[in-house]
Structure 1
Amino acid sequence: MTSDAESSLLAAPVPGRPVRWDVARASGLALAGVALLFGGWGAASLWLDNAILLPSPWAMLRGFHEVVQDGTLLVDVAASLKRVLSGFSLSAFTAVPLALLVVSFPSLSQLLLPVLSLLRPIPPIAWVPIAILWFGLGDHPSYFVTAVAAFFPIFLNALGGARAVDSQHLRAARCLGARRLSLLRFVYLPSSLPHVWTGLKIGLGQSWMAVVTAELVAARSGLGHMIELNRLQLETPRVFVGMSMIAIIGALMTSALGSLEARIFPWKKAS
């Protein structure tokens, strides 16, 4: 008969084995899902037998090779990323301070929140015609639409984080002589950072989707413009190339933000 300590040691799993198994299983299922997607796509393309309506995966790969060779893909990807990062940065540097100020100044909250509540339900795509009227064609409508798309997720999450600050922390800071600006800097902002980060992740995803919409009608470059131009020319494989690049870049941005979150807020992963 073994002791309790020996029994617990025998029952304990080998360190590292379950983690490796879970990673391998998840990777295998992900690859199987991708294989099913391409297999179903190829079968549907063969059954339909119409390269304009639904090209095969191999035709899309040939189109990908062509746009890489002629350099247009790199130009369009760079243009879309520039617009997204510009509009997203503008929203981030506007929405976070505004949310903290709204929490700190009740009169500002009463002034702005009703207006923002009216504007929030308007989808970013509805701003595209207005952006074209205001800014014309080119980059500026895309900057505006991506900024609008990112603003509300960032603002609302920052606002929720600031409102969730522990009241004991506020009382302690006030007892030490902290005034409003000091409270914003040393209490509200640090406490709301996890919520702000969530808003940044959502806002970046919304901006990425919005920029493609804006580029479909208001730009002369970018992945949205690439999709629309090739649709008009009946180059459907290149349309699918543009769609695939949107999906891949969006997934990479989400993964990058998740990795940064694990480094900046390690306790969230632990919890």
Structure 2
Amino acid sequence: MMASFSGVLMGNSTAPRHWPAWTIYLRTMGLFCLLWYAMSWLTPNKILLPSPLDVASALRDRIDDGELVANATVSLTRLLVSVSIASLIAIPLGLAMGTSRLLEDLLEWPVELLRPIAGIAWIPLALFMFGIGNGLPIFIMIYTAFFPLLLGTAAGVRNVDRRLISAARTMGIPKGTLMRHVIFPAALPSIMTSARLAVAASWTAVVAAELVGAPSGLGYAIEYYRSMLDTPSVMAFIIVIGTLGFLCDAALRSLSAALMPWANAEEKR
């Protein structure tokens, strides 16, 4: 026992040095829930801060009555539609900007003027344009996802090794083939990174848009239960939003690993 203890003190390689990732996660979440429970116990008004047990009970109730699944499905569908539309517009345009200096110069000022404007800033105007329904959140999400995809794609194309392009042109490869088989694969890591940023930003935007401009979705559910002073349900939906956002990002990371195995091999070196 003394030998093993001295081995730990002297940094023996046989001694465990790192906790597994899942144990660290569970420990952190356990400490967070304990702190949350203590703060809720010290708060006189439970409407302000319900306990984790109350939130867990509300989450179970919202699952049982089907409301959570229905609203989450609506929000995820809006996310998928919006990011898909934004990708169909922004990625080809970003590829063109990255390969054409003239087009980049023409679009630089409009893009830089509109990009700093947050998507939620358009909500008051979008209410007049689209009214209450699917149009408003989808418009806000397309706008929010467009700029990360556009700029990330253009930056990825500009960072492609010029020697690859020169070699392909020397071999007489047509422009379309050059784009499909050389430029686009080389820019794909940057495109996937921008896609993760676009999805994260759009997921935030859809919740904000649904708070005021949609008759369904997770944001609408939060506003509805806030008006009913049902704070446990509000916090339950907030937890669901965070969980779904994490799962969307994890899905994109898995997709990146499947599409770009060479990039992952380089990172492990």
- When normalised by structure 1's length, the TM-score is 0.88
Equivalent residue for 2:52?
57
1:100 aligns with 2:89: no
1:190 aligns with 2:197: no
Structure-1 separation of matches of 2:212 and 2:105: 37
Aligned-pair CA distance for 1:248: 0.7
Structure-2 separation of matches of 1:184 and 1:99: 12
Equivalent residue for 2:149?
154
1:115 to 102, 107, 110: 110
Equivalent residue for 1:202?
197
Asked if the contact 1:150–1:206 (Cα under 8 Å) also holds between the matched residues in 2, the reply is yes
Aligned-pair CA distance for 1:245: 0.3
Equivalent residue for 1:43?
38
Aligned-pair CA distance for 1:30: 0.8
**Deviations for 1:212-255, whole angstroms, at most 9, x for unmatched residues?**
00000000111000000110110111000110000111111122
Equivalent residue for 2:5?
none
Aligned-pair CA distance for 1:203: 0.8
**Deviations for 1:132-152, whole angstroms, at most 9, x for unmatched residues?**
121111011111111111111
Q: Give the alignment of 1:110-259 within 5 angstroms.
A: 110-259=105-254
Aligned-pair CA distance for 1:112: 1.1
Aligned-pair CA distance for 1:57: 0.8
Structure-2 separation of matches of 1:170 and 1:62: 59
Unaligned runs of 5+ in 1: 1-12
Aligned-pair CA distance for 1:69: 1.6
Paired AA for residue 27 in structure 1: W
Asked if the contact 1:104–1:180 (Cα under 8 Å) also holds between the matched residues in 2, the reply is no
Structure 1 residues 186 and 262, CA gap change in structure 2 (3 angstroms): closer
Asked if the contact 2:99–2:158 (Cα under 8 Å) also holds between the matched residues in 1, the reply is no
Asked if the contact 1:104–1:184 (Cα under 8 Å) also holds between the matched residues in 2, the reply is no
The number of aligned residues is 254
SS of the residue aligned with 1:80? helix
Over aligned residue pairs, what C-alpha RMSD do you find?
1.8
Higher mean Cα deviation, 89-98 or 105-114? 105-114
Structure-1 separation of matches of 2:91 and 2:113: 19
Structure-1 separation of matches of 2:177 and 2:261: 26
Asked if the contact 2:59–2:236 (Cα under 8 Å) also holds between the matched residues in 1, the reply is yes
Unaligned runs of 5+ in 2: 1-12
1:76 aligns with 2:68: no
SS of the residue aligned with 1:73? helix
Aligned-pair CA distance for 1:127: 1.6
Structure-1 separation of matches of 2:100 and 2:155: 15
Paired AA for residue 105 in structure 2: Q
- When normalised by structure 2's length, the TM-score is 0.89
Aligned-pair CA distance for 1:25: 2.4
Could you tell me the percent identity over the aligned residues? 37
Paired AA for residue 117 in structure 2: I
Structure-2 separation of matches of 1:121 and 1:95: 17
Aligned-pair CA distance for 1:106: 2.5
